[in-house]
Amino acid sequence: MTPTPSAEALAVHNAALIIDLHCDLLLTRYFLGWNWQKRHRPNPLPGAALFGHCDVPRLVEGNVGAIAFGVVTSPFRWTGGPAAITRDLDALHTEVTRSPGTLAICGSAAEIRAAHQGRRIACFAGLEGAHGLHGRLDELPLFRERGLRYVGIVHFTANEAARPMVGWGGSNTAGLTPFGHDLVDELWRLGILVDCAHLGKAAVLEVCRRARKPVLVSHTACTAIHGSPRGVDDDVLRAVADTDGVVGVIFVTPFIGRGGAATAARHLDHIRKTVGIRHCAIGTDWEGFALFPSDLDSAEKLPNLTQALLEAGWSAEDVHAAYGANVLRVIEAGCGG
């Protein structure tokens, strides 16, 4: 049985502006017709398999203040592409319209802070894989207007820009393609963050070397703590830190290893010890059709991570930096204030 977080942990937790850099509620909405406004019981399957990790009531209870909603499109050209991106952005706007008192589309750090002060969850979108662009850049300004604030260069398939760390066409030695160079330059010009989650190591290092703005790794783990093919090593941590970016720790058990919130805290603490607290963040991957530890498998359980971080010797200021302040800094620098 998971111990109840202490009064100190709850106080620290409730004082934070918490930003989740990657949540897949749009997927469960699309595939299952998931009602965001209804409080669902946590998924009862072992590892909370696949879905059922959050909804608006549980996010509010877990004090989540802002969320990057993953926009996932099919890698097959006849079913994905810009039309699928538009569909998901429209779906996000529909959900916000249905719940104007608890959700708000926010495109800047100032808007996120204002939404938090008004007790609303700030919402923005992150594209998971540039394959959804079909090798085109012309629709990016429209997507930004609709709330897109980061673009993941790849997902689990190679595309016109680069190759993933693992998956179809995976490579950790291949760099960006010429289109990949054009893409990251255009994203920075438009004020859209470049996300290197899923991207092969050589391409991540290349993005960081040419970076004009902070680089994001929205949801990943540290291979120094657990040898997952979805994790990043210390070279990548240092390269991202050199851009003044952040690395979001994922909660998925196969990627972080067993041990639940205490293990997620170890990954965050490794980032802190390797490159500094300034570069820590979280990207839960809730609703991402994966397996989660029993003490982080539902949004209202997030204080368990706060408890684990305090037990690891973190201060309240450290926790608040990793939970939101660092991401706000990156959004200010990369997307505008």
- pLDDT at res. 2: 66
* % pLDDT > 90, the chain: 93
- pLDDT at res. 76: 81
Residue with tokens 């965001």: 36
Question: Is 36 in contact with 287 (CB distance < 8 Å)?
Answer: no
Domain ranges for the chain, please list them: 7-335
1 has a pLDDT exceeding 60: no
Q: What is the pLDDT of residues 204-262, one digit of tens each?
A: 999 999 999 999 999 999 999 999 999 999 999 999 999 999 999 999 999 999 999 99
Out of 3.20.20.140, 3.30.2320.50, 3.40.50.720, 3.30.70.260, the CATH code matching 7-335 is 3.20.20.140
Q: Confidence class of residue 336 from pLDDT cuts 50, 70 and 90? A: confident
Distance CA 335, CA 337 (A): 7
Decide: helix, strand or coil at residue 154.
coil
Q: What is the pLDDT of residues 266-293, one digit of tens each?
A: 999 999 999 999 999 999 999 999 999 9
Taking alpha carbons only, the member of 237, 227, 230, 225 closest to residue 267 is 225
List, in sequence order, every beta strand (DSSP E) within the chain: 18-23, 64-71, 103-105, 121-128, 148-152, 193-195, 216-222, 231-232, 246-249, 280-282
Q: What is the pLDDT of residues 298-322, one digit of tens each?
A: 999 999 999 999 999 999 999 999 9
- pLDDT at res. 169: 95
Contacts of 97 (CB under 8 A, 6+ apart): none
